[in-house]
Amino acid sequence: MTVISIPADSLFGLDNLPYGVFSTPDAGPRVGVRVGDSVVDLAKMLGDAAFAQPTLNAFMAQGRPRWVEVRAQITDLVVGDVPDAAVHSVDDVTMHLPIAVADYVDFYASENHATNLGRLFRPDAEPLMPNWKHLPVGYHGRSSTVVVSGTDIVRPSGQRKAPTDAAPTFGPSLRLDIEAEMGFIVGVGSPMGSSISPDEFADHCFGAVILNDWSARDIQAWEYVPLGPNLGKSFATSISPWVVPLQALDAARVATPVQDPTPLPYLQGEQDWGLDIDLAVEWNGDVVSRPPYAGMYWSPSQMLAHTTANGAAASTGDLFGSGTISGPEKDQRGAFIELTWSGAEPVEVAGEQRTFIQDGDEIAISATAPGHAGARIGFGEVRARILPAGS
């Protein structure tokens, strides 16, 4: 039997307990919970076959009462002796994509980001569209290219046409970018013809991850009218491996900024689902931005309510992204196109002046939030290296 030690300053203490899918050299992907620097094999510890699965979906589908029960069981058990065979060091495991992604929707919920992008993509028009403060604008992305942190990202090729070019050309993106976001995962869906109100959020949302919505700005700028982004985004979306349960975010809940005009009733709730999460964007080892989630205009509960307001089904494994998180300050911008103002204002990265991503670059986004009693909890990170086009 093993007693799991939790360092006093750990971001993975008992108020966090995120779930992930791990494998070891001797056994394939199954569900674990992170405690300090250990990963506990939940099928071995709790004997529920839902954990002996290569994704969290079966457990998530069991519903909120079960999520609460399992979290309480883990809290009780990991402070005592845990069977040796159920405990692994985080350094000895490989992490996998934690969920089978059903539908993936990406939003656009930061007023600073939407305003900055509006100025850059449509310099001659009002930066915010008339609908922006009435509904959380979003679009569907490609589910099959959601990958876990650590997966290399190959630079995408596509059609690019600068305004001064006579015709588009096909080739590797010259303006490869990130979008630092949070991702939210639906545990329990809703059938076609029904909808989820903002105050029902906790019955449906299982937890949150960090999400990097890789964006090829040159491909996107040429293709996106009138039906929205497609190949400029569809090549890859990375998420962090540890899903922080919604229960662990109690101390992080805050009100959203004042929403004016008042949203329509279907977007109103009594519960605060703004979240005081601090992100950090690291580019080749240098932190270049610290986007604050707390300033996001639309809450994740409003995003889920909006998604289902027309009676669209929600499913176990649905993933929705917040959209780029950008604060009001320059060093709080969550995309390099904003941080460098479309390349016009390079930033210093490891001693070099940089604009967009170069081959070989490594990007890591980390995040923490308030835990209980002044401590903090961690989301870990979503990290990837960029490989040249065609690799």
What's the CA gap between 73 and 53, in Å, rounded?
19
- Binding-site member from 25, 164, 310, 373 for a copy of itself (CB under 8 A): 310
CB of 99 to a copy of itself, least distance (A): 14
Q: Which residue, 67 or 222, has its beta carbon nearer to a copy of itself?
A: 222
388 three-class SS: coil
Does position 230 bind a copy of itself by CB under 8 A?
yes
Give the burial class of 280: count Cβ atoms within 10 A of its Cβ; 0-12 exposed, 13-18 middle, 19 or more buried: middle
Does position 259 bind a copy of itself by CB under 8 A?
no
Per residue, what are the HEC states of 215-255?
EEHHHHHHHCCCCCCCCCCCCCEEECCCEEEHHHHHHHEEC
Does position 145 bind a copy of itself by CB under 8 A?
yes
Does position 126 bind a copy of itself by CB under 8 A?
no
- Binding-site member from 16, 301, 307, 368 for a copy of itself (CB under 8 A): 307
CB of 89 to a copy of itself, least distance (A): 30
The interface with a copy of itself within residues 231-250 (CB under 8 A) comprises: 231, 234-236
Side-by-side strand order, sheet with 286-289: 153-154, 376-387, 362-370, 278-283, 286-289
User: Cis peptide before 370, with omega less than 30 degrees from 0?
Assistant: no
Closest to 351 measured CA to CA, from 269, 284, 298, 292: 284
CB of 362 to a copy of itself, least distance (A): 18
204 labelled catalytic: no
Q: Which two tokens stand for residue 124?
A: 């001659």
Does position 318 bind a copy of itself by CB under 8 A?
yes
Which spans of this chain sit near a copy of itself (rule: CB under 8 A)? 102-103, 105, 108, 118, 121-122, 129, 131, 134-135, 137-145, 147, 154, 156-159, 161, 167-170, 189, 192-193, 216, 219, 222-231, 234-236, 261, 264-266, 306-307, 309-315, 318, 391
**Active-site amino acid positions:** 113
